[in-house]
């Protein structure tokens, strides 16, 4: 690990698939997964109300859900 605590590490996994239909034109699909505790903490801290009853966000009490994304588009092969 690059840091002493795993709270400061993030990761991304991406996979893609492309298919040519006609000449050099095709379609592509990409799917990705991300884990980023720093981004989740920053989001929670920016939405935290210090005057409210919720505790201050820390790495130990944030909800760090797995982030997903997908892309679908046209491809052209040069």
Q: What does the pLDDT look like over 41-75, one tens digit per residue?
A: 898 999 999 898 989 998 888 888 888 999 999 98
Q: Among 3-7, 12-16, 38-42, 48-52, whose mean pLDDT is lowest? A: 3-7
- Predicted confidence (pLDDT) at residue 29 exceeds the cutoff of 70: yes
Task: Quickly list DSSP for 3-39.
Answer: SSSGGG-EEEEEEEEEEEEETTEEEEEEEEEEEEHHH
**36 vs 11: CA distance, rounded Å:** 7
Residues in the chain: 78
Token pair for residue 51? Answer: 């005057």
């Amino acid at each position: 690990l690059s840091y002493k605590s795993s709270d400061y590490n993030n990761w991304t996994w991406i996979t893609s698939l492309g298919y040519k239909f006609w000449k050099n034109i095709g379609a592509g699909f990409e799917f990705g997964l991300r884990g980023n505790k720093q981004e989740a903490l920053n989001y929670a801290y920016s939405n935290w109300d210090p005057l409210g009853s919720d505790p201050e966000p820390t790495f130990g009490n944030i909800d760090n859900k797995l982030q997903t994304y997908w892309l679908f588009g046209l491809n052209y092969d040069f």
